[in-house]
Amino acid sequence: MDRRDFIKKSLKIIGASSIGYLVSGTPLILGQNSNNYELVAVQGGSPDVMFKKGIPYLGGLKKFIKKGDSVAIKVNASWNSSPDDGGNTNPTLVKTVLQACLDLGAKEVNIFDHTIYNADTTYRVSGIKNAVSGTKAKIVPASSPKYFNKVKIANTKILNTAEVHELVLSADKLINIPVLKTHGSTKMTSAMKNFMGIVWDRSFYHRNGLHRCIAEIFNYRKPDLNIVDAYNVMVRGGPSGYYNSKVVTKKMQLISTDILAVDVAASQILGFKPEEIKYLNDGKDLNLGKFNLDELTLKKIYI
């Protein structure tokens, strides 16, 4: 099996829509494309190249980011692990997205995460600190309750209120860039679970209904754009990895405005049926997006 056949086989697991190919003359990252898809799945390139190839098929980043916007980017920066370990969002992808936002005239771009381990260490070891350094973007702290504000959440069974990071309240645009990996408590973590990092009291989720809370937070605010980093994927031992983890370099990326659909696709990359992931079923119950990928327009790109 040659390289292209391998990549085709890998992406066939995502949905049943027809396969598309990039051609010469693809619009630039900031531009628009006449084809506006709901989900883009890319494989075979570096994280920056995959984003630049994929985002035009959602209309280009300028569809989402306007001049003067305040942009908040939610990354996964929780762990003391390098980019090769697959524990945190790939720094090359983070830098590509933040710089593109700045190039479009965003007045500010802020990176944040309520990290598990010490943020100074995780941002440094993950490479995200270096990715932000030298740009006009900045990393905003999330290590104290003072950065969080209590909000009411409508139409929920459990998560009626939550203390959410101030950037979620103030940003004009919210971009979600999780890393895809396995998780001991929820089988997988991707776009939806990454938003546990916008709340202060994560223990409330664990005490009162983890999966349902993961889904219900989106009744407060959904991201404007989700970019799932599946370049180095921790297929065993997530979320922290370390001793028993297994990382596979899949060189994949998923891009969508649909928080549920992008995670349904992500679950298939890990070999799960979406129905096996309880919070995806809760998301379906809450009508957060499309659960059946055959119901949306899907673009598959092989580099």
pLDDT values of the chain reduced to their tens digit, one per residue, 303 residues: 554 554 455 566 665 433 333 333 333 455 555 568 999 999 999 999 999 999 999 999 999 999 999 999 999 999 999 999 999 999 999 999 999 999 999 999 999 999 999 999 999 999 999 999 999 999 999 999 999 999 999 999 999 999 999 999 999 999 999 999 999 999 999 999 999 999 999 999 999 999 999 999 999 999 999 999 999 999 997 688 677 789 999 999 999 999 999 999 999 999 999 999 999 999 999 999 999 999 999 999 999
Which of left, alpha, beta for 290 (phi over 0: left; psi -120 to 50: alpha)? Answer: beta
Cβ–Cβ < 8 Å for 160, 153: yes
Structure tokens at 66: 């306007």
CB within 8 Å of 64: residues ≥ 6 apart: 173, 175, 224, 225
CB within 8 Å of 188: residues ≥ 6 apart: 180, 181, 182, 238, 263, 266, 267, 270, 272, 277
CA triple 54-57-60, angle to 5 deg? 85
Query: How far is 36 from 61, CA to CA, in rounded Å?
Result: 12
Cβ–Cβ < 8 Å for 51, 93: yes
Element containing residue 11 per DSSP (H, E): helix 3-11
Query: How far is 47 from 231, CA to CA, in rounded Å?
Result: 7
At position 92, the amino acid (one-letter code) is T
pLDDT at 244: 78
Element containing residue 282 per DSSP (H, E): helix 278-285
CB within 8 Å of 262: residues ≥ 6 apart: 39, 190, 191, 226, 228, 254, 255, 256, 289
Element containing residue 164 per DSSP (H, E): strand 161-165
pLDDT at 13: 61
In angstroms, the Cα distances linking 45 to 50, 118, 131, 230, 253 are 6, 31, 19, 11, 9
Q: Which of 265, 245, 246 is nearest to 254 (CA)?
A: 265
Stated pTM of the model = 0.91
Structure-token match 């889904």, residue found: 215
Which CATH number does the domain 3-302 belong to among 1.50.10, 3.40.50, 1.10.3470, 3.30.420? 3.40.50
Cβ–Cβ < 8 Å for 283, 218: yes
Side-chain half-sphere CA neighbours of 10 within 13 A = 25
